[in-house]
Structure 1
Amino acid sequence: MAESRLVTDGGTAVSPEERLAELEAENERLRAEKQEAEETVDDLRTAMEELTEGMAAAADGDLTRTLDLDASEEVVAEMADSFDGMRTELARTLATAQEFAEEVDEASESATTVAEDVRKEAERVNDSTANINDATDEQREKIETVSAEMSNLSATIEEITSTAENVALMAEQTADRGEEGQESAEQAIDELDQIEEQTERARDSVDELTDYMAEIGDIVEFITDIAEQTNILALNANIEAARAGEEGAGFAVVADEVKSLAEETKDAAEEIETLIQDIRAQSEETADGMADVSESVETGSKTVDEALEALSGIAEQAKETNDGVQEIKHATNEQAGTAQEVSQMADEVADLSETTAEETDSVVDAMANHQEQFGSVVSSIKELSGQVTFLREELDAFELDADHQAVQRASSAEARTSRREATGETVVIGSKMFQSNVLLAYMTYELLEETTDVSPVAKVQMGRMQENFEAVTSGETDLYWSYDGTVLRQFVGDESSVDDAAEVYRKAKAVESKYDLVLGEATRMNNTWALSPRRVWCEEQDVHSLPDLAAYVRAGNDLSMAYDPDFRDRSDGLSGLAALYDFPDDAVEAIQANSVAYEEAAQRYETIDTGNVDMVQGLLADAWIDVHDLQPLADPDNYFFFYRPVPLVRGEAARTHPSLVDTVNRISPTIETAEEMRQLVRQVKIGKKDPRVVAREHLETNGLL
């Protein structure tokens, strides 16, 4: 039988045995190559596993692990070298960053202390400058008073000078008149002597007249006797004539005539006697008068002598007075000049004092500006300190890529939202201005976006309480986070006193029947109002609670705040606090006069670093409380109402999406205290993290995502 042959491609004929041998050899070679490839794959797998573990460790923050690879492949060796180089460089960079963060942290703490000391010193300097300013104003007023008084004194001295001149003139005139008086007195003495002589002569004449009157009296008496005798004779003649009858008739006529003449003579004699008596009486009076005149002249003479001596003394004293007045005149002239100079100097000092006061005002203004600048510096340093602390926390955890991944997830979520908006399955989430409210809105957004089919739309920071409520009731938004206390007081309209959180929530549910709304589950956190002084102030004043603060005010201490306008104006704010704790009647007005009102929380907290206020009114969840090292005052009487965050959902949205309320309610149990919320807000405000990232991380930490 003929041997069969195979023909190869090259045309050479080979036997099957030869071909089989070739195939076996080829198979052996392939097995060897396969084994070599498997060994290479095993080496690569080991290297990749080692590299993966190293990268995972690095991702977890362990940069101390090195790759110990026995890599025969050049690419593996290059990967190992590149990883080790990257790890070493990253470790070095992070070590430098940590060291720098520690240095900045220490420096910021030191700077905070120094800045705080500088702020306090500036405050003291400002107070001292203000005191100096007040003293300068008072000094200026006193100097102006002195200047006015000196002007008055100068005018008075001028008047005295003028008066002295008049007195001097009058003294000269008095001296002249004194001399004239002396001459007149001497003349008066001479004339009195003459009067005395004449009076003596008159007295003698009166005496002689008296004697003559006596003689005349005797004659008159004699005539009277004759008249009486003649009258008797006439009577007898009539008797005899009657006896004679006719012959005696003529004789009777003569007798009657004689009788008549005798009676007339008697009457005349009596009249003369009367006149003589009158003359005698007048003579006696004249004599007495002359005696008195003589005595008076004698006395007058003596008086004139005394007056003469007095006038002589007056003349000498007038001369001396004139000399003294001349000296006073010269002295007052000098005083007037000096007073004028003093007045001029007082005016100059007043001008200088006014200039000093103006300069002091400038210093006070400058110090006030410096205080504000110091306050801003302190705020900036505290903010930097907070950022550094946050950086250190991040570096300690070494989760460097978390934000980037979260932002990528957020971007993907936005893309999904755009697709869902096209289908109309959207839920619009509103929020108030507060950062804690913004975080709750983003938590709601992330949870709905990740776990439901609806497309959430975030409209954060739409406005204050009323704007958000009007938006959800009008259908502009579908839900937002309110507070159970706000719902009860503002929307239900129940102002009754409630001191139990569960009761507040139960009563707030009445909003569902009043409006087409659904009230979700409240958080355990009470984000109510808080009054927060600096910790050091609390220790210095021993004020740690609202009752302590009330005692501080009742003791007569001044108090100042930086507060929200709502706290100032609402009945459950400052006025209610004063009523509860019996503040003095004028305390509220005094506090308002010393305080400032800002809607922005950050602006209120910055104010406390200027030293212009004692405390800040804000919310318990404000991150600035920790940044500025403040201490919220305890509220043992629950004066500040319960304000627990609670979702308020539009009824139509809840009916359209039956799982909406239950989904949102899952967020509430994850926030138990205001301190927890402050930590979240701090990451946004101080750490400058995206609030959506912080919201998602919170949900992830609590197992909701």
Structure 2
Amino acid sequence: MPMLRLRSLLAVGLVMLLLAAGPFAAMAQSPIRVGSKNFTEQLVLGELILQALAAHGLPVENRLSLGGTAVVRQALETGEIDVYAEYTGTALLVHFSGYGLDVPREVWSNPETSTTLVREVDLERNGLAWLCPADANNTYAIAVRRHWAEENGVYTVADLAAYINGGGRVIFASNPEFIDRPDGLQAFEQTYGFSIPRGDVFVLAQGSYATAQALANGANGVNAAMVFGTDGTIAAFDLVVLDDPQGAMPIYQPAPVVRSEVLQAYPQLEEVLCQVFAHLDGRTLAELNAEVDVYGRQPAAVARDFLQRIGVTR
């Protein structure tokens, strides 16, 4: 048989094989595009996902640090990326805000019920699969310096409200999202009945490390700041996180969210990522974040060492 004809037959056979295997066969030839938002914990989680998948022989493409919440979510919904770590509370109160859902407090303040609802809604409406969440709550919080808390008797958000309503002035450090999002400062203000004039808000684009540092240093008169529940800077800067007794904030458990067609093309992806996220609790995430923010290590190196420690890589 002539060589040219043999090659033609082989090419036709390969095409027929791919068609018979369905659309997921072609997708399985493409890399899994891993995204993340642009703050410390997201970069660490993104590196954990990226490196764990690569260690198990799956093709990956680094799309980390795409931008803020809206940018990364849109990238997932439009297929620009295939997987990233999102927070359950963010989905319920931000991504699903236009769905007309009436989600009661007892649902979004409970890790089991909030995860169940997020999984059902996102899969049905958007074809997005939420995998196993980490046992951590990276909720928004308000922090103050320890000596300031002791001087003013402010240990809860209710105490802060009383301080402000009694004439005390708060200069607040925040990232842009916490000011704009309904589950941010607005939620605290509405729940506890206080208001911080936006002229007294010091907005820092760099994220929670910058807000915590501004608080610790008292930059521009800052005496309160937005932090995340798993920030490594809380202990490092000796900050006091104000209790939220009325539960203004939802549960924010991080979990890998993946496009369902990608999960079908790479079913082993779930087992790989669940192995990683099973080792993440609040204290562990805070330690990983501190490695970056406090000790200046790169997220990729922090993720590499952690994956080696838990036996995912060698």
TM-score of the two chains, using structure 2 as the length reference: 0.81
Contact kept? 1:527, 1:621, Cα under 8 Å: yes
Deviation at 1:495, TM superposition (A): 5.4
Matches within 5 A, 1:82-121: none
Matches within 5 A, 1:444-459: 444-451=49-56, 453-459=57-63
- Alpha-carbon distance change, 582 to 467 in structure 1, aligned in 2, over 3 angstroms: closer
Runs of 4+ deviating beyond 4 Å: none
Give the Cα–Cα distance (whole angstroms) in 2 for the partners of residues 662 and 670 of structure 1.
13
Match of 2:259 in 1: 650
- Alpha-carbon distance change, 644 to 482 in structure 1, aligned in 2, over 3 angstroms: same
Give the Cα–Cα distance (whole angstroms) in 1 for the partners of residues 54 and 76 of structure 2.
20
Match of 1:703 in 2: 311
Give the Cα–Cα distance (whole angstroms) in 2 for the partners of residues 576 and 691 of structure 1.
31
Matches within 5 A, 1:152-551: 424-451=29-56, 453-493=57-97, 494=101, 496-498=103-105, 499-509=109-119, 510-551=121-162
Deviation at 1:425, TM superposition (A): 4.6
Match of 1:572 in 2: 183
For residues 571-590 of structure 1, what are the alpha-carbon distances to aligned partners after superposition, in whole Å with 9 as ceiling and x for unaligned? 3333332222233xxxx2x5
Deviation at 1:514, TM superposition (A): 0.3
Match of 1:559 in 2: 170
- What runs of 5+ residues in structure 2 fail to find an aligned partner? 1-27
Match of 1:271 in 2: none
For the residue of structure 2 that corresponds to 1:527, the secondary structure is: coil
For the residue of structure 1 that corresponds to 2:241, the secondary structure is: coil
Give the Cα–Cα distance (whole angstroms) in 1 for the partners of residues 184 and 60 of structure 2.
36
Give the Cα–Cα distance (whole angstroms) in 2 for the partners of residues 513 and 592 of structure 1.
39
Paired residue type of 2:45: L
For the residue of structure 1 that corresponds to 2:226, the secondary structure is: strand
Which of 620, 623, 635 is 2:244 aligned to? 635
Match of 1:204 in 2: none
Matches within 5 A, 1:614-629: 614-629=223-238
Give the Cα–Cα distance (whole angstroms) in 2 for the partners of residues 657 and 508 of structure 1.
22
Give the Cα–Cα distance (whole angstroms) in 1 for the partners of residues 298 and 186 of structure 2.
38
For the residue of structure 1 that corresponds to 2:163, the secondary structure is: helix
TM-score of the two chains, using structure 1 as the length reference: 0.38
Contact kept? 2:93, 2:182, Cα under 8 Å: no
Give the Cα–Cα distance (whole angstroms) in 2 for the partners of residues 565 and 549 of structure 1.
21
Paired residue type of 1:489: L
For the residue of structure 1 that corresponds to 2:247, the secondary structure is: coil
Match of 2:212 in 1: 605
Match of 1:592 in 2: 198
For the residue of structure 1 that corresponds to 2:32, the secondary structure is: strand
Give the Cα–Cα distance (whole angstroms) in 2 for the partners of residues 572 and 691 of structure 1.
27
Over aligned residues, Cα RMSD in angstroms?
A: 2.0
For the residue of structure 2 that corresponds to 1:538, the secondary structure is: helix
- What runs of 5+ residues in structure 1 fail to find an aligned partner? 1-422
Paired residue type of 1:480: Y
Deviation at 1:599, TM superposition (A): 2.3
Deviation at 1:657, TM superposition (A): 0.7
Match of 1:689 in 2: 297
For residues 105-161 of structure 1, what are the alpha-carbon distances to aligned partners after superposition, in whole Å with 9 as ceiling and x for unaligned? xxxxxxxxxxxxxxxxxxxxxxxxxxxxxxxxxxxxxxxxxxxxxxxxxxxxxxxxx
- Alpha-carbon distance change, 563 to 536 in structure 1, aligned in 2, over 3 angstroms: same
Give the Cα–Cα distance (whole angstroms) in 2 for the partners of residues 649 and 615 of structure 1.
36
Contact kept? 1:623, 1:679, Cα under 8 Å: yes
Paired residue type of 1:647: P
Give the Cα–Cα distance (whole angstroms) in 1 for the partners of residues 174 and 232 of structure 2.
16
Paired residue type of 2:136: M
Deviation at 1:432, TM superposition (A): 0.5
Matches within 5 A, 1:44-59: none
Contact kept? 2:133, 2:256, Cα under 8 Å: yes
- Alpha-carbon distance change, 495 to 624 in structure 1, aligned in 2, over 3 angstroms: farther
Deviation at 1:636, TM superposition (A): 2.6
Greater share of residues in strand: 2
Which structure's relative contact order is higher, taking Cα pairs within 8 Å and 6+ residues apart? Answer: 2
Which of 259, 270, 273 is 1:661 aligned to? 270
Deviation at 1:462, TM superposition (A): 0.6
For the residue of structure 2 that corresponds to 1:647, the secondary structure is: strand
Give the Cα–Cα distance (whole angstroms) in 2 for the partners of residues 430 and 486 of structure 1.
16
Paired residue type of 2:60: P
Deviation at 1:481, TM superposition (A): 0.6
Give the Cα–Cα distance (whole angstroms) in 1 for the partners of residues 203 and 289 of structure 2.
23
Rg larger in structure: 1
Give the Cα–Cα distance (whole angstroms) in 1 for the partners of residues 295 and 233 of structure 2.
12
- Alpha-carbon distance change, 687 to 639 in structure 1, aligned in 2, over 3 angstroms: same
Contact kept? 1:425, 1:454, Cα under 8 Å: no
Paired residue type of 1:542: G
Give the Cα–Cα distance (whole angstroms) in 2 for the partners of residues 495 and 431 of structure 1.
28
Greater share of residues in helix: 1
- Alpha-carbon distance change, 441 to 642 in structure 1, aligned in 2, over 3 angstroms: same
For residues 475-495 of structure 1, what are the alpha-carbon distances to aligned partners after superposition, in whole Å with 9 as ceiling and x for unaligned? 221101111111222333345
Contact kept? 1:528, 1:643, Cα under 8 Å: yes
For the residue of structure 2 that corresponds to 1:670, the secondary structure is: coil
For the residue of structure 1 that corresponds to 2:33, the secondary structure is: strand
For the residue of structure 2 that corresponds to 1:667, the secondary structure is: helix
Paired residue type of 2:204: Y
For the residue of structure 1 that corresponds to 2:278, the secondary structure is: helix
Match of 2:23 in 1: none
Deviation at 1:611, TM superposition (A): 5.6
Deviation at 1:431, TM superposition (A): 0.5
For the residue of structure 2 that corresponds to 1:562, the secondary structure is: strand
Give the Cα–Cα distance (whole angstroms) in 2 for the partners of residues 668 and 634 of structure 1.
26
Contact kept? 1:521, 1:668, Cα under 8 Å: yes
